[in-house]
Amino acid sequence: MTSSDKPENASDTAAAEPTSVAARDWATASADPQYRAAVVDLLGALAYGELAAFERLAEDAKLAPTLEDKAELAKMASAEFHHFERLRDRLAEIGEEPTRAMEPFVAAYDGFHKQTAPSDWLEGLVKAYVGDSIASDFYREVAARLDSDSRNLVLAVLDDTGHGGFAVEKVRAAIEADPRVGGRLALWARRLMGEALSQSQRVVADRDALSTMLVGGVADGFDLAEVGKMFSRITEAHTKRMAALGLAA
Amino acid sequence: MTSSDKPENASDTAAAEPTSVAARDWATASADPQYRAAVVDLLGALAYGELAAFERLAEDAKLAPTLEDKAELAKMASAEFHHFERLRDRLAEIGEEPTRAMEPFVAAYDGFHKQTAPSDWLEGLVKAYVGDSIASDFYREVAARLDSDSRNLVLAVLDDTGHGGFAVEKVRAAIEADPRVGGRLALWARRLMGEALSQSQRVVADRDALSTMLVGGVADGFDLAEVGKMFSRITEAHTKRMAALGLAA
């Protein structure tokens, strides 16, 4: 395979060449139908994740004790919506129907949010912060394994996350004011992480193309052990963040 | 009063000069404390209106039958949030505490939305469309009466409304498919307008500075008859839009 531009649907190329996927652009890398399907899955999963996050953050903004707090959560929600737009537009650009790409992931995200509806403002803040951080970690892990065009998109969306920082200060202040709050929120954060992992496993089990990419069938350097390591790194980063927040994770 | 820049808090100026407010900039016009208070009220009312609209549109997006429809309503919600940001930032820029400026209007907007929670997707669409259109009409009416800086802000926010157009097609199709839907939605639109007018009256009755500006005490050309005419124009435009939608208003 050369690095020159190829029509997206070219199928006369050898997919499993040793050339790094990360060194190819989309036109070249997507000639492999399995890689293409995996990226469509990935973009669909990320896109619906952002739309669902928009909806839940907007919902959780109702729990805000002040107008300023409400505006902060609304700002995160709006940022998630713009991520959704970029991912959806990219799906359309590569000739995929965005709705069809998102649909396989609706049940997992909706299940996650249904299981983790915050019962008060602090739980909402912890969820916003944890969700935002885990999403960033995951985007960063995955980006490195993608063709250059897909990577640039994922990094651009990633670059615009990190709105969760405002939550840290509020949560820390609440724990200082009443240390028992810390125990309750630590349990809550653990439940969030557990639910996120269990929904991720469900997705990995259901989606062949995506899983194959993650375990190294198509993209670079991901075997089953590597996926395990990725989950460990994400969990470790979560634990550190919780400790910084004053929560035992 | 000269047209040269003045400190915002200068109080040594004659407020009721015949010079048109519309010909002045904020620095000059706001030297009149009553005009200043009226604009702060107006920006506070618009800002909270946008934040409340964000919240309700995001909520109504849940009623969407498809992911595409959900994304359309989420897009409107996100646009409202950005309007909120501009208005809030302007309040801060002129040295006002945004939350304090918004608070007097929370009850009216929350009351409106509480009284007009859509019971299904079509009611949500009609509300999004009607709300967006009335907001545009009102912004346009008010902009002409403001100092040049406030006017530019209001027109910039106005310029970015009109996301409600997508609702028209959907509502019209639903009425064609089942004409009885038209009767129900016509009643609904009438209720929306009635509730909006009754909450506006409540605000006008409560807020001295704003009302005085609207009835011509400070700004240009608004006397009580003129306010009545403004409401008539907005109601008429609403009626025309409803007719275009296939609804008797």
Question: What residues of chain A lie within 8 A of the CB of B75, using their CB?
Answer: 81, 85
In this complex, the residue of A55, A70, A99 whose CB is nearest that of residue B68 is A99
Distance between CA atoms of residues B210 and B197, nearest Å: 16
User: What's the mean pLDDT when you consider all of chain A?
Assistant: 84
Number of H helices, E strands in chain A: 11, 0
DSSP sequence for A24-67? S-HHHHTTSHHHHHHHHHHHHHHHHHHHHHHHHHHHHGGG-SSH
Structure tokens at A222: 């991901």
Query: Which residues in chain B come in under a pLDDT of 50?
Result: 1-18, 218, 221-222
Per-residue model confidence (pLDDT) at position B211: 75
Its ipTM equals 0.78
Question: What residues of chain B lie within 8 A of the CB of A106, using their CB?
Answer: 67
- The confidence band for A217, taking pLDDT boundaries of 50, 70 and 90, is low
Per-residue model confidence (pLDDT) at position B161: 65
Across the range A135-146, mean pLDDT stands at 85
Across the range A1-30, mean pLDDT stands at 60
Interface of A with B (CB under 8 A): 48, 51, 54-55, 58-59, 61-62, 66-68, 70-71, 74-75, 77-78, 81-82, 84-85, 88, 98-99, 102-103, 106
Per-residue pLDDT tens over the stretch A148-186: 999 999 998 887 666 777 888 889 999 999 989 999 999
Q: In this structure, what is the dihedral angle of CA atoms A71, A77, A82, A86, given to the nearest 10 degrees?
A: 160
Say how many C-beta atoms besides its own lie within 10 A of residue A181's C-beta: 17
Distance between CA atoms of residues A50 and B67, nearest Å: 12
Per-residue model confidence (pLDDT) at position B34: 87
H or E element in which residue B183 lies? helix B180-206
Distance between CA atoms of residues A31 and A12, nearest Å: 8
Are the C-beta atoms of B196 and B134 separated by less than 8 Å?
A: yes
Per-residue pLDDT tens over the stretch A71-109: 999 999 999 999 999 999 999 999 999 999 999 999 999
The b-or-e profile of A139-176 (16+ CB within 10 A means b, else e) is bbbbbebbbebbbebbeebbeebebbebbbebbeebbe
Q: Nearest C-alpha of chain A: how many angstroms from B236?
A: 33
Show me where the domains of chain B are located. Answer: 31-245
Per-residue model confidence (pLDDT) at position A230: 81
Per-residue model confidence (pLDDT) at position B12: 41
Opening angle at CA B205, ends B241 and B17, nearest 5: 90
Percent of chain A exceeding pLDDT 70 equals 86
In this complex, the residue of A54, A68, A102 whose CB is nearest that of residue B67 is A102
Per-residue model confidence (pLDDT) at position B162: 64
* 8 Å CB contact of A74 and B67: no
In chain B, the residue whose alpha carbon lies closest to the alpha carbon of A59 is: B59
Per-residue model confidence (pLDDT) at position B216: 61
Are the C-beta atoms of A136 and A158 separated by less than 8 Å?
A: yes
In chain B, the residue whose alpha carbon lies closest to the alpha carbon of A44 is: B67
Higher pLDDT: A121 or B160? It is A121
Count of CB contacts below 8 A, A vs B?
A: 71
Interface of B with A (CB under 8 A): 48, 51, 54-55, 58-59, 61-62, 66-68, 70-71, 74-75, 77-78, 81-82, 84-85, 88, 98-99, 102-103, 106
Residue from B203, B191, B205 nearest B119 by CA: B191
Q: What are φ and ψ of residue B64, in 5° steps?
A: -60, 135
B85-93 LR contacts (CB < 8 Å, sep 24+) = B85/A75, B86/B153, B86/B156, B86/B157, B87/B43, B87/B46, B87/B47, B87/B50, B87/B153, B87/B157, B88/A71, B88/B47, B90/B43, B90/B153, B91/B40, B91/B43, B91/B44, B91/B47
Per-residue model confidence (pLDDT) at position B125: 92
CATH number of B31-245: 1.20.1260.10
CATH number of A26-245: 1.20.1260.10
Q: Nearest C-alpha of chain B: how many angstroms from A63?
A: 11
